[in-house]
Amino acid sequence: MTDTAVAGASADQAAPKRPARAARPAAKPHGQWKVDGTTPLNANETWKQEDNGLNVRERVESIYAKNGFDSIDGTDLHGRFRWWGLYTQRKQGIDGGKTATLEPHELEDKFFMLRVRIDGGALTTEQLRVIGQISVDFARGSADITDRQNIQLHWIQVEDVPEIWRRLEAVGLSTTEACGDVPRVILGSPVAGIAKDEIIDPTPLINEIAERFIGDPELANLPRKYKTAITGHPSQDVVHEINDCAFVGVIHPELGAGYDLWVGGALSTNPMLGKRLGAFVTPEQGAEVWNGVTSIFRDYGYRRMRTKARLKFLLADWGTEKFRQVLEDEYLGYKLADGPAAPKPATPGDHVGIHEQKDGKFFIGATPLAGRLTGSQLVTLADTLEARGSYRLRTTPHQKVVVLDVPRENVEPLVAELDALGLSARPSVFRRGTIACTGIEFCKLAIVETKVTAATAVAELEKRLADLADSGQLPQALSLHINGCPNSCARIQTADIGLKGMMLPTPDGDPSPGFQVHLGGGLASTDRDEAGLGRTVRGLKVYVEDLPDYVERVVRKFVANRAEGQTFAEWAHAAEEGDLQ
């Protein structure tokens, strides 16, 4: 057959007819209330609609506290209790290798972690003393400062919860929506209202949001947790890039002091950094804008799969332009002004050390060891501060404590007294830069121990690297973040050295606790213009017992090989893989 004949043949003669392509199955709905309706698409969404989580308080007080742990309804226990800051804690003695194989009820004890909500990290000494005494009376002395400015207590029994609530609420504290699919604690600048270089005091905005919206049933059923950060300080001290909604103080050339709006940040197993919407928010608009962003999450957030139910996934699909348009058109009814980005921070955001306030008094930033304190320490701290003329303090997003309003003549005596309490105002690089999550001691999700691991690592590194510290070769800041599982409560992807807990194989076949290593992450700071995630190197893992050896080794390599002016993060991203082992 000639080419001409082929060319002139019909299509049916030239080639067999292909079968019709099957229609693609319709995309499954995301469970967006404004798109797909409010019919629940999973069991979690079902029980949230059946009874608002806030309603469980009445049952705690009238039934469960009277009849004990075994009387608690299962859905309340594993769901709605979170709306009031209560999680069952891990049963003692269960190793990390069993975390993923046991059912939740097999992992949990008949005790609770109770999270005290501290919006803006703001405490009076009276409030601190009450938390400390609750710890002494009901929590076996436990008290951990978290990297979200809360204080967590352990060993709580349900029978004691009403009395704990009574004591907290008598001094203006609560556990309302400290956990759950709700607006969590509002991170706030620890130096709000007192810093000499503050752009704007965020305290009124934090208070307005908390008073108007926390505990509001209309916002108490979100797709998942929702995190807020607000600062008016140029150090950008609230880790805004990893929050769902954040306001960062900035000066608009025509409108004056206000906020740059960020949305969609979160870490966990699928980390995404927040994005600027390019919108300037005046102080008067702040609460309404926050409510608008939160309502978008409620109405458009993905609810079908909990692994996709954070605001970051919606933002990734929509983009910032559409998100801003929906916010303005559907929720605000007006356009926000365009605004500038905040400049690179000029000072550290952890506020450690001694600093003069704008009123001439001083604030002192002091660090406990990875956030761990005791109830007795809290009570003593309250007494100590009052004796030195201070009646206010702040917790920080870096597991630190900032003491306010210290008269000049009391600064050095108080620094010495804080040090005796385990709170260092002049810490080593490693003590200052180390944070750790709760870990396997109490957390049902954890695989490895964290708090003791952190304390051991800090002590060892202070000794082993004393020569570099004494010679001034250590960087002024080096963050070491230790997490007990992949969920990144300790922000491992944004640390110089981030450690993700996991079980590692051993030559004898018996898995041992260890970490996957992330290197060179960080948020906007004096050392970097913008946030970035850490680097992972294939196969770079370390056993818990070898952690000090590894950190010493990689820090010495950095000091020996860095270029002039190069930060650890810059070096870690540029280094050959062999130098990071």
Q: Could you write out the DSSP letters of every residue in 444-485?
A: TT-SS--HHHHHHHHHHHHHHTHHHHHTT-S-S---EEEESS
Q: What is the mean pLDDT of residues 551-559?
A: 97
Q: Where are the alpha helices (DSSP H) in 232-363?
A: 286-300, 311-318, 320-326
Q: What is the mean pLDDT of residues 136-153?
A: 98
With beta carbons less than 8 A apart as the criterion, state whether 392 and 194 touch. no
Q: What is the pLDDT of residues 184-241, one digit of tens each?
A: 999 999 999 999 999 999 999 999 999 999 999 999 999 999 999 999 999 999 999 9
Q: What is the pLDDT of residues 466-503, one digit of tens each?
A: 999 999 999 989 999 999 999 999 999 999 999 999 99
Angle at which helix 375-387 crosses helix 411-420, to 10 degrees, equals 170
Q: What is the pLDDT of residues 159-172, one digit of tens each?
A: 999 999 999 999 99
Nearest to 457 by CA among 374, 522, 543: 543
- Gyration radius from the chain CA atoms: 26
Tell me, what's the pLDDT at 14?
40
Tell me, what's the pLDDT at 127?
98
Q: Is a pLDDT exceeding 90 seen at residue 173?
A: yes
Is the entire prediction scored with pTM above 0.85?
Answer: yes
3-state class (DSSP) for residue 274: coil
Determine the Cα–Cα distance for residues 439 and 329; give it in Å rounded to an integer: 44
- What backbone torsions phi and psi does residue 283 show, to the nearest 5 degrees? -55, -35
Nearest to 493 by CA among 522, 457, 527: 522
Q: What is the pLDDT of residues 414-441, one digit of tens each?
A: 999 999 999 999 999 999 999 999 999 9
Tell me, what's the pLDDT at 22?
58
Q: What is the mean pLDDT of residues 382-392?
A: 98
With beta carbons less than 8 A apart as the criterion, state whether 291 and 342 touch. no
Determine the Cα–Cα distance for residues 124 and 112; give it in Å rounded to an integer: 25
With beta carbons less than 8 A apart as the criterion, state whether 438 and 449 touch. no
Determine the Cα–Cα distance for residues 75 and 341; give it in Å rounded to an integer: 44
Q: Which two tokens stand for residue 202?
A: 């965020």
Architecture (CATH level 2) of domain 432-579 = 2-Layer Sandwich (3.30)
Tell me, what's the pLDDT at 509?
83
Q: What is the pLDDT of residues 104-114, one digit of tens each?
A: 889 999 999 99
* Max CA distance (Å), the chain: 106
Q: How far is CA 546 from CA 440, 469, 535, in A?
A: 18, 21, 20
User: What pairs with residue 528 in β-bridges?
Assistant: 525
Q: 């999973």: which residue's tokens?
A: 42
- DSSP class per residue in 162-201: HHHHHHHHHTT-B-TTSSSSSEEEEEE-TTTTTBTT-S--
Determine the Cα–Cα distance for residues 244 and 268; give it in Å rounded to an integer: 13
E-assigned strands of 28-182? 86-90, 108-116, 122-124, 142-145, 151-156
3-state class (DSSP) for residue 81: helix
- DSSP class per residue in 196-235: TT-S---HHHHHHHHHHHTT-GGGS--SS-EEEEEE-STT
Q: Which two tokens stand for residue 435?
A: 């944070």
Determine the Cα–Cα distance for residues 258 and 255; give it in Å rounded to an integer: 8
Q: What is the pLDDT of residues 91-130, one digit of tens each?
A: 999 999 999 899 888 999 999 999 999 999 999 999 999 9
Q: What is the mean pLDDT of residues 377-406?
A: 98
* Residue 268 CB neighbours (<10 A): 15
* Residue 49 CB neighbours (<10 A): 12
Determine the Cα–Cα distance for residues 444 and 438; give it in Å rounded to an integer: 10
Give the lowest-confidence range in 27-31, 68-72, 242-246, 248-252.
Answer: 27-31
Kindly list the domain boundaries of the chain, sorted by start residue: 432-579
Q: Where are the alpha helices (DSSP H) in 329-428?
A: 375-387, 411-420
Tell me, what's the pLDDT at 1?
33
Tell me, what's the pLDDT at 9?
36
